[in-house]
Amino acid sequence: MKLENLTFRGGTHIEEFKELSSGSLPSPMPAPGKVILTMSQHIGAPAKPLVKKGDEVKMGQKIAEAGGFVSAPVHSSVSGTVLGIVNYRSATGQLVQAIEIENDGQDSLGYEEVDRSKDDLSIEEMLDYIKEAGIVGMGGAGFPTHVKLQPPKDTPVDTIIINGAECEPYLTCDDVTMRTKPEKIVAGLALMMKIAGAKKGFIAIEDNKPDAIAAVEKALEGKGENMALAVLKTKYPQGDEKRIITAVTGREVPMGGLPAAVGCIVDNVGTTCAIVDAVYYGKPLYERVVTVTGHALNEPKNLLVRFGTTIGEVLDYAGGLATEAGKIIFGGPMMGVAQASVDSVTDKRNNGILVLTKEEAEPQRIDPCIRCNRCVEVCPVFLEPLIIASASKMENWDIAQANDVTACIECGSCSYICPSHRPLTELIRFGKQEVMAMNRKKK
């Protein structure tokens, strides 16, 4: 079964630039001589180190345990010697603990390779394999997957959606994963449906990915009516989980609510493949496909990168710079995080490294608001960005809160569409942080 022409209200069309890397199928990048593995590669409590300076570790060995229920363990991406546990400035700017490991070049395995694909596994066993593998949302959010798959008992889940929208410009890692591993994605969907007790499963893909659609459609043949392909109209931010739920099921997640509130769980295609690797084959999460792209690069491509590799090392392997970099971003241009240094390291959440030219990164002149209302028309959350941004600029947190500033998903659509080039998203993000801090103090 296939659903077609699905979409949501709001959003906008953005120049994609996916052709830069879409022709590059994932190839493994050699591991660097040293990796730096942060303890905060996920939402929730940081992981707690299990090793110390001088310890010998193996590739895939658990080197840090989950720091709480909403947390995830960390595994070594190389075999070698622990150089120490250090304080490290993460890609998001936070000062976090990290484990430095010198690579011995042997890639000695620290986990047992198995094949449980024919076993009758219990839900508890599958959840434990997912948790112990350190799997988190690989679309950027980093929410621990074993937690997501265990919603509160009063919110039963009937639908699983695999998010293959990949609406962010430039990024193609999900596209190439769907084209090369469609059977694994279908297997992962079946596993998630079994764990959550869901009766329906969808693999949702934007219609600008015809090869991925064809590959997944073929992989779904003979799998029954409970699993289907959902083809989405290409529009940003279609990949936001609440927007994709609306497009596929017609359900509206309430403001402040989670997808489980409307009986849904959404997971990224990379996460889905990692679930299969962990449950069936015992492989923990220590590497991922990363899109390395941008007009400032010589050879944009998709690479299988070990966590803890620096941006500089990845860019060098991708052929280096064709011109001076104006800005380097982890992720895409809309919701990614600009980096201050090429020494920042990759982790579970980093789906892309984007290098903009100096001309592309040049700030545009900011003009007065002309009250054109275009920011309101594109907002997928039905907010009034011009009002919230103005309140944030004046530091009037009561007005910002009254206009639901905390509901903003920071997609950047309003800033992108604004003819006056006003920094609406930046102002709203500032206001959102201040209002949340204010509300925490009141508790």
Write the DSSP string, 144-185. Answer: BHHHHTS--TTS---EEEEEE---STT--HHHHHHHH-HHHH
Looking at residue 443, its pLDDT comes to: 73
- Both tokens of residue 269? 């295609």
Structure tokens, 116: 């449980």
| Cα distances (Å, whole numbers) of residue 102 to 107, 154, 161, 363 | 12, 47, 39, 40
Q: What is the pLDDT of residue 194?
A: 97
pLDDT tens for 151-177 read 888 889 999 999 999 999 999 999 999
**Residue 396 contacts residue 349 (beta carbons within 8 Å):** no
Q: Where in the chain is the domain with CATH 3.40.50.11540?
A: 2-21+118-281
Q: What is the pTM of this model?
A: 0.95
Q: Is the dihedral of CA 400, 403, 408, 410 positive or negative?
A: negative
258: how many CB neighbours lie within 10 A of its CB?
17
pLDDT < 70 regions, the chain: 1
Q: Domain 2-21+118-281: give its CATH code.
A: 3.40.50.11540
Determine contact, residues 226/199, Cβ cutoff 8 Å.
Answer: yes
Q: Residue 32 corresponds to which tokens in the numbers above? A: 């660097």
Residues 6 or more apart in contact with residue 323 via CB below 8 angstroms: 295, 296, 357, 358
- 209 contacts 178 by C-beta, under 8 angstroms: yes
Closest of 246, 198, 261, 233 to residue 381, by C-alpha: 246
Longest CA span, the chain = 64
Rounded-to-integer distance, Cα 357 and Cα 146, Å: 40
Given a contact cutoff of 8 angstroms between Cβ atoms, the answer to whether 270 and 289 are in contact is yes
Asked if omega into 368 is within 30° of 0 (cis), the reply is no
325-330 vs 287-293, strand pairing mode: unpaired
Among 69, 123, 133, 162, residue whose Cα is nearest residue 275 = 133
Please give the Cα distance from 270 to 191 (Å, whole number).
Answer: 14
The residue whose two tokens read 């010998």 is 56
pLDDT tens by residue, 293-313: 999 999 999 999 999 999 999
Contacts of 429 (CB under 8 A, 6+ apart): 408, 410
- H-assigned helices in 197-329: 210-219, 241-249, 269-281, 311-317
Triad 273, 274, 277: Cα angle to 5°: 90
| pLDDT value at residue 1 | 63
3-state DSSP call for residue 132? helix
CA distances from 244 to 23, 423, 433 (A): 26, 26, 25
